[in-house]
Amino acid sequence: MYKPLPKELRLGFSDIHDIGVFAKEKIRRGHDLGISHLKVDDNLYRTPLGGFINHSDTPNCSKTMVRVNDYKVWHLITLADIKEGAELTLEYTFYKIYDERN
């Protein structure tokens, strides 16, 4: 059965921006949560994991790129232990960050 997010994650309302990705259980540092982005030719695609994770200047996750034949795949890896209920964050490198207050 298809599941858009790994079993240990859920979507929820975020204090950072709108909807975010949250831990349903404790997640250990170094855990591979799966594919967040992939690039085929000049087209960048986000999975639900990559589409809902919010930016932080002090993220608790990072993207790790793997080249597969003619395309690139990024996996989301935890940088620290993440507590149950905590929001997962990533430093955006593919997108500009807009401040909605300005």
Is there a domain that residue 84 lies in?
A: yes
Is there a domain that residue 56 lies in?
A: yes
Output the average pLDDT for the chain.
91
Is there a domain that residue 86 lies in?
A: yes
Is there a domain that residue 17 lies in?
A: yes
Is there a domain that residue 58 lies in?
A: yes
Is there a domain that residue 27 lies in?
A: yes
Number of domains in the chain: 1
Residues 10-46 pLDDT 10s: 999 999 999 999 999 999 999 999 999 999 888 999 9
Give the model's pLDDT for residue 69. Answer: 86
Domain coverage including residue 80:
9-90
CATH of the domain at 86: 2.170.270.10
**3-state SS record for the chain:** CCCCCCCCEEEEECCCCCEEEEECCCECCCCEEEEEEEEECCEEEECHHHHHCEECCCCCEEEEEEEECCEEEEEEEECCCECCCCEEEECCCCCCCCCCCC
Is there a domain that residue 2 lies in?
A: no
Residues 39-78 pLDDT 10s: 988 899 999 999 999 999 999 999 999 888 888 999 999 9
